[in-house]
Chain A
Amino acid sequence: MIIGEKMKNIVAQYFWLLLFIALTMAAIIRFLGLGQLSLSDHEAENALQSLSMSNGMAVRIGGQTGYVALTSILFSLFESSDFLARFWPALFGTLLVLVPVLYRKHLGEFTITILAFVIAWEPGLVALSRTADGSIMTITALLVSIGFFVTQRMVLSGVLFGLALISSERFWPLFLVIGAAGLIGFFSSRKSEDSTENLFSNFRNAKWSGFVLAAGITILLVSSIMFLYPNGISGLGSSLTGYLASWKKPTGLEIGNFAMVFLVTQFPVLILAIWRLVIGLIERSNITRFLGIWWGLGLVLHLLNPSLEVLSIALINLPAFIFAAIQLVRFFEKLSIRSRFLAAIEACVTIGLLVFSIINFLNMVNYPPMDPTATRDRMLGMVLPLILWIVFTILLGWGWDMVSTRTGLALGLIVLFGYLLGASGWKAAGLGNKPENELFISSGIVIGDNVLLSAVKNVSLWNTGQANGIDISTVGINSQSITWALRNFDRQSSSAAFPINDGASIIVSSTESIFQSQTDYRGQPVVWSKQPALSQMVWQDWIKWFFFRTVPQQSESVLLWVKNDLFPDATNTLQTP
């Protein structure tokens, strides 16, 4: 029995069902506990713009007009929340699973199905989909736009292109590399006899007027929320300038650390993608050339940009996911089974011995043995299972059936890698035990919101009878996440220094601010956010992170000051405003 054929038949028969399953999985992992974590500084910056818009306040909109405008509609219809702030990215991230369908003709149903599952669980894409910014909206909209363009549905293509353009600054590098790869593909495909693979053959005959008009109208309507906020139109320019400005804003992420994150988070996909790239180039495939240029250019463009960040990995690796899916299909096509029993035995042995070896390896990393005997035992515990696995596989293939053994080996590895992908995706969604240890985060994960808000609300209730009635001031802090967390307090202000006379009832200050009236207030430090300290990581830390998600951390703290007379033991109480 040839497994590839069998799987192809299953996919052909249940194509839409499989896609639905992938979509459901994607939706679950993207929407589950979406509002659990408070917005980080990076996320809050965008969400606050949406909130101001929905409140009808004057606001300066940055380069993510699409996201801000659409989110502001949600905030207008419902109450602002962390969930709603992340709603559109999660939705677009979920729909990304379906995007490959537009390229059915070029990739085939089997590849599309596998790609859909990869997209559903890929940790980088999952993390982007749960981040309150427009990056994933841009990715989805642009890829859909290209898909419609390829199928000559120019108006739809224009609409999605317009949406991609205004959704985030990440549009520009993505468009640049796809455009460059497309142009190279377009010019080089003339010489190629294989015109069926040319994604850009429609370029010349395209009805550009419909495309331009649709894109223009989309930009106007969405970015201005149907002209209610006309200044949102500036966002288009802001996204370009935001991207250009990123070349002058170093994030401090070293390329070495970036490379390590790249390797540990993309481990199985990376191997498959490189494998496919090499084979495709040997086969002189147009699609491989196009995807390869896209991948290479994207990687170079991001590495050169000093504002490099971990979340860019998903953006860079979009072609790698396609490569991996294609390679898996090719892989399955070559697998066949003569004895199911043999294959199952080999698969189980592969999984069992590899897991055993890994456990010993981790044990050694986590608890380095103190004496030579223990070290030797651990080394043996790590190496012997691997030797046993190799010997067992060779003997099984030689003595019984090589074809079934090979299939069993492959299935064992696929199960392991699949588990790895699933677990990574789950944890990248922040659903693991230690979300603050995840590498796919844009800025520190907020962990102090509960402590801060419960304290503030309690004081407010004691003194005003309302949870958000008290006056609160931030001093010397420029934290968007704190502003977001305190958004429901009616009497909120900010200043650069502590007031001399009439200070607010509650003050949240930076740890560096000098407070001259400490005797009037009681204070408490609050750890506000945490994130991995990549610069402090040594090689063992990367392994630990890979398996246990433990990592050196850096945190940001604030000081919460409450006036002495507002506590229950004090005699005075404030008047309700």
Chain B
Amino acid sequence: MIEMSDVLSFLSWYITIFVVGLVSLPITFRLFPNLTSKGYALARPLGLLVWGYFFWLLCSLGVLQNDTGGVVFALLLLVGLSIWCSMNGRWQKLTTWVKQNKKTLITMEVLFFIAFGLWTIVRAANPDVVYTEKPMELAFINAILKSPSFPPNDPWLSGYAISYYYFGYVMVSMLIRVSGVTSAIGFNLSAALWFALTALATYGIVFDMLSTWKLRIHSDGFDRYKLARNGAFLGPFFVLIVSCLEGLLEFLYSWQVFWKINSEGILTSRFWTWLSVSELELPPTTPVSFFPNRPANWLWWRGTRVIQDLTLTNQKIEVIAEFPFATYLLSDLHPHLLGMPFVLLAVGICLNLFLNPEDNIFFTGSIKNLIKRWDYWFIALTLGSLAFINTWDFPIYVGLFCLTGTYLRIRKFGWNLTRGWEFVKTGVVIGLTGIFLFLPFYLGFSSQAGGILPSMEYITRGIHFWILFGALLIPIGIWLIYQLIRSRNLREFLGGLRFAFILFGVLLLASLLFGVLILETGQISSQLVSSGKEWLIPIGLKLSGAYQAFTSLHGSTDSGLIVTQSLLRRLLSPGTWITLLLILAAVWSLLINKKDKSTQLQISNQNIEVMEITGTLSIKIFVFLLMLVGVALTAVPEFFYLRDNFGWRMNTIFKFYFQAWVLWGIVAAYASVELFTRLKGFMKWLFNGIWIIIILAGLAYPVVMLWDKTNGFKPPEWTLDGNAYMARYYQDDYAAIQWLDKQPLGIIAEAVGPSYSFDNHARVSTRTGMPTVLNWPGHEGQWRGSYKEVGSREAEIKTLYTSNDWTEVEGLINKYDIRYIYFGDLEKNFYKTDGELLRSNLPVIYQNSSVTIFEAAAQKSEGLP
């Protein structure tokens, strides 16, 4: 089983994050006064964020060193901030509150510990940091650990700093430093820790929403938060565990349901063909089995690739549609994973704002008054950090914050243009403050985003949308219907429907017009280029580039054909937009319903009543706002997407749908608890039945894929060490890398391989954090938006290994200031060389049976080391 050293590593992380949470509690106590939990569940992400911010900023400004001392100093600053927040009698209030809420806090602690512990076991069962983008993430972490200062070195492009949103990796590296574990162990512990942080944060938010229910208590000593405490468990359950319905499809496929043998003896199926999920549309090749066992390299992969775009010629284009369970199962420490606890922190901020409608200063106050408020800086810091952790989340949660505040203003003062202005102004001010707080990051960051493009013929098929979100949408849908029935106002629903139609129509029209415009830029751009005016030529070239990218992606320049296909596909596959349209109509009509009725309902078998007080905004409104943002996130990619190096909707769908899952997961949890408590009689039994069926379907994926990914929890070795597989299968490389890791920092040369290399390219730079001249060139191009920096490096490294001319090799060594040249089996086979030239000209500083490391240049000390 798991080694004692791994258990100690786990405990060291647990203690560290516990301390960080404890230190941060006085801050959340002040920052979230309107939440019942006072932000206890959010203290850990907030603490990590503030601690990380202090460390990163001071390192970037050259005030702190990038070492353990710097990390500890930053922690001391957090402690100082916490002490400041505890002053003036707040400490006594805090301790009193802790005593009064022991049960809730203990429940949260137990949830966190179990989540952290269980996911650590899952990671220990499949710990290898290999394949997908894990090497990239480990390389970032190691590079951050090794870099003398910030911005950290790019591990795969020597001489450059990382051009990526790397704040999440800074936080991981800090935990690695203070806990003293290796980065390969820290990698897996991070995945487990972030899982637990997300579980706790989600629990806290749902708890805070449910605890706003006013309970009329008829018996003494009744635990008023028991319902919220129990119900809140559905938060992490829906967000983290419940999954897409592809797992259910795997069962059906495995049972060979809907497959028939035709006259030629071949298995055919109209259902599976119509479903058109890759791999599942092919006839099964294995006998019927209860448990899915179709031969696939990564069975769990398919669930994250359910949605596919089709070109005009019906070619499938891969689109990523991850959901949290798959993300954690894969455990790539990708920004969307690392961002989860922090987006939930942002949701917590919005909830806190919502629960105090009287505090309007964020929307009405002058900028001067705003910057005087300490909580303004925390809010800006939290929202601003999202851009540095996972840039895509930044506008989404700034939007949610502004939407929440503006809605409160509309409820109070009614709608007029001022509200719109307040929305925009607050968004801009808080967004700019967030950017300002992380300014050093932006100074060295080159984005790959290349503007917005219309999504013409690319749409999400309804069935795919429902496979992905079905487990969330069914409880939400029933809850919305229930709310509509309760509101008994058909006219407002029809009004909402009209609004949704108009909005979707406008979006479609704008998308089509934009598309046609781009398709026409072919002519315009050539005219601009040939105009001879210097200032027009670059514009022409830009337009020309956009035109070519757009038309090559679509495979046609015929705007008529594309527009026709765009309309036709939306008509033939209307599932997604109709779903979203209906949800939007329902939510809109419920949001604009000003009658916030007081209700009293008897909870079965309990001597209490749930009621909402007239005059106080129901928490449901906030749930509707979350729902609305989710609708926006899933509807927008139907019409527009962000242009990146890939050119199609892959990343837009990926990043937007993922956030939609987080928000809708919270909504589904809330909706389920409300329906469980409110429905009575037959309706209750009906709902319970449907709920159980859909949840079982949503749990099929976790059960099957967890088993598959961990090989039935029978790994070759139970360990948290992500490099253990190297020690098993690449002993010489492993030993050499371990040795090199202890040497002074220097630029290394190793074989340059493609992204996701299955041949273990970039193995040395990834595991030592020492910058290599180049690796994963495709990714480098993506991160930098062009291949200008990559240049001719790939060919030059090949020359370095294969040339017979020492002068040429020496020139390359000097050009890139290479210190270590790594020569292992990979270099030998990849470049087909015996390394004789290197051997006869450079001293060997390390050698084992298959690896030789040459030292290309002595460390120049300028009189000192």
Point out residues on A near B: beta carbons under 8 Å.
Answer: 48, 51-52, 55, 57-58, 60-63, 224, 230-231, 233-242, 245, 248, 473, 483, 487-490, 492-501
**B841–chain A nearest beta-carbon distance, Å:** 6
A490 partner residues in chain B, CB cutoff 8 A: 863
Given contacts A237-B75, A495-B843, A497-B843, is CB(A52)–CB(B864) below 8 Å?
yes
**B843 near A235: Cβ-Cβ < 8 Å:** no
**A60 near B67: Cβ-Cβ < 8 Å:** yes
Complex formed: what's the CA distance from A320 to B844 in Å? 55
A501 partner residues in chain B, CB cutoff 8 A: 841
**B58–chain A nearest beta-carbon distance, Å:** 8
**A237 near B76: Cβ-Cβ < 8 Å:** yes
Contact with A along B38-67 (1 / 0, CB 8 A): 000000000000000000001001111101
- Besides A55-B864, A57-B862, A57-B864, 4 other A-B contacts (C-beta < 8 A): A230-B64, A231-B70, A231-B149, A494-B859
B67 partner residues in chain A, CB cutoff 8 A: 60, 234, 238
B72 partner residues in chain A, CB cutoff 8 A: 236-238, 240-241
Complex formed: what's the CA distance from A233 to B67 in Å? 12
**B148 near A248: Cβ-Cβ < 8 Å:** no
**A223–chain B nearest beta-carbon distance, Å:** 10
Which one of A48, A58, A224, A239 contacts B148 once the chains associate, using CB atoms below 8 Å? Answer: A58
Complex formed: what's the CA distance from A60 to B858 in Å? 20
B842 partner residues in chain A, CB cutoff 8 A: 500
Complex formed: what's the CA distance from A58 to B745 in Å? 14
A492 partner residues in chain B, CB cutoff 8 A: 861, 863-864
**Contact residues of B between 67 and 96, Cβ < 8 Å to A:** 67-76
Q: Could you tell me how many residues of chain B have their Cβ less than 8 Å away from some Cβ of chain A?
A: 36
**A83–chain B nearest beta-carbon distance, Å:** 19
For A492, the closest partner residue in chain B by CB is B861
Which one of A57, A238, A496, A498 contacts B68 once the chains associate, using CB atoms below 8 Å? Answer: A238
Given contacts A234-B73, A238-B68, is CB(A487)–CB(B864) below 8 Å?
yes
**B863 near A237: Cβ-Cβ < 8 Å:** no
Given contacts A55-B864, A57-B862, A496-B845, is CB(A237)–CB(B148) below 8 Å?
no
A51 partner residues in chain B, CB cutoff 8 A: 864
For B65, the closest partner residue in chain A by CB is A234
**B864 near A483: Cβ-Cβ < 8 Å:** yes
**A217–chain B nearest beta-carbon distance, Å:** 14
B75 partner residues in chain A, CB cutoff 8 A: 237
**B860 near A241: Cβ-Cβ < 8 Å:** no
**B700–chain A nearest beta-carbon distance, Å:** 47
**B410–chain A nearest beta-carbon distance, Å:** 45
Given contacts A237-B75, A248-B180, A500-B843, is CB(A495)–CB(B69) below 8 Å?
no
**B861 near A494: Cβ-Cβ < 8 Å:** yes
In the A-B complex, the 8 residue pairs with the smallest Cβ-Cβ separation, listed nearest first, are A238-B69, A237-B72, A237-B73, A237-B69, A495-B858, A497-B843, A234-B65, A234-B70
A242 partner residues in chain B, CB cutoff 8 A: 69
Which one of B65, B74, B743 contacts A238 once the chains associate, using CB atoms below 8 Å? Answer: B65
Given contacts A57-B862, A57-B864, is CB(A233)–CB(B63) below 8 Å?
yes
A and B contact pairs by CB, cutoff 8 A, 20 listed: A52-B864, A230-B62, A230-B64, A234-B67, A234-B69, A238-B65, A240-B69, A241-B71, A245-B68, A483-B861, A487-B864, A490-B863, A492-B861, A493-B859, A493-B861, A494-B865, A496-B743, A496-B845, A499-B858, A500-B841
Complex formed: what's the CA distance from A236 to B180 in Å? 18
Complex formed: what's the CA distance from A55 to B99 in Å? 56
Which one of A230, A234, A236 contacts B61 once the chains associate, using CB atoms below 8 Å? Answer: A230
**A356–chain B nearest beta-carbon distance, Å:** 55
**B81–chain A nearest beta-carbon distance, Å:** 13
Complex formed: what's the CA distance from A51 to B864 in Å? 8
Contact with A along B838-865 (1 / 0, CB 8 A): 0011111100000000010011111111
**A498 near B843: Cβ-Cβ < 8 Å:** yes
**A231 near B65: Cβ-Cβ < 8 Å:** yes
Given contacts A57-B864, A230-B63, A233-B63, is CB(A497)–CB(B855) below 8 Å?
yes
Complex formed: what's the CA distance from A562 to B855 in Å? 22
Point out residues on B near A: beta carbons under 8 Å.
Answer: 58, 61-65, 67-76, 148-149, 178, 180, 743, 840-845, 855, 858-865
B840 partner residues in chain A, CB cutoff 8 A: 500
B855 partner residues in chain A, CB cutoff 8 A: 495-497
Complex formed: what's the CA distance from A48 to B149 in Å? 20
Complex formed: what's the CA distance from A248 to B743 in Å? 20
Complex formed: what's the CA distance from A18 to B552 in Å? 95
**A62–chain B nearest beta-carbon distance, Å:** 8
Given contacts A234-B70, A238-B68, is CB(A483)–CB(B865) below 8 Å?
yes
**B736–chain A nearest beta-carbon distance, Å:** 13
Complex formed: what's the CA distance from A499 to B840 in Å? 11
**B273–chain A nearest beta-carbon distance, Å:** 62
**B393–chain A nearest beta-carbon distance, Å:** 30
B860 partner residues in chain A, CB cutoff 8 A: 493
**B861 near A236: Cβ-Cβ < 8 Å:** no
Complex formed: what's the CA distance from A248 to B841 in Å? 41
Complex formed: what's the CA distance from A58 to B62 in Å? 10
Given contacts A60-B65, A241-B68, A496-B845, is CB(A236)–CB(B76) below 8 Å?
yes
**B69 near A241: Cβ-Cβ < 8 Å:** yes
Which among A57, A241, A483, A490 has the greatest number of chain B C-beta atoms within 10 A?
A: A241
Given contacts A55-B864, A237-B76, is CB(A231)–CB(B63) below 8 Å?
yes
B58 partner residues in chain A, CB cutoff 8 A: 233
**A237 near B858: Cβ-Cβ < 8 Å:** no
**B71 near A237: Cβ-Cβ < 8 Å:** yes
A237 partner residues in chain B, CB cutoff 8 A: 64, 68-76
**B844 near A497: Cβ-Cβ < 8 Å:** yes
Complex formed: what's the CA distance from A48 to B859 in Å? 16
**B448–chain A nearest beta-carbon distance, Å:** 32
Complex formed: what's the CA distance from A230 to B858 in Å? 29
Complex formed: what's the CA distance from A61 to B73 in Å? 13
**B738–chain A nearest beta-carbon distance, Å:** 15
**B383–chain A nearest beta-carbon distance, Å:** 28
For B64, the closest partner residue in chain A by CB is A234
Complex formed: what's the CA distance from A343 to B859 in Å? 70
Complex formed: what's the CA distance from A107 to B475 in Å? 77
B863 partner residues in chain A, CB cutoff 8 A: 55, 487-490, 492
**A512–chain B nearest beta-carbon distance, Å:** 13
Given contacts A57-B862, A489-B863, is CB(A231)–CB(B73) below 8 Å?
no
A230 partner residues in chain B, CB cutoff 8 A: 61-64
**A63 near B69: Cβ-Cβ < 8 Å:** yes
**A60 near B73: Cβ-Cβ < 8 Å:** no
**B63 near A236: Cβ-Cβ < 8 Å:** no
For B861, the closest partner residue in chain A by CB is A492
For B69, the closest partner residue in chain A by CB is A238
Complex formed: what's the CA distance from A233 to B71 in Å? 11
**B744–chain A nearest beta-carbon distance, Å:** 9
**A60 near B148: Cβ-Cβ < 8 Å:** yes
**A48 near B864: Cβ-Cβ < 8 Å:** yes
For A61, the closest partner residue in chain B by CB is B65
A496 partner residues in chain B, CB cutoff 8 A: 743, 843, 845, 855
B864 partner residues in chain A, CB cutoff 8 A: 48, 51-52, 55, 57, 483, 487, 492
**A212–chain B nearest beta-carbon distance, Å:** 9
For B862, the closest partner residue in chain A by CB is A57
Complex formed: what's the CA distance from A39 to B164 in Å? 45
Complex formed: what's the CA distance from A51 to B62 in Å? 19
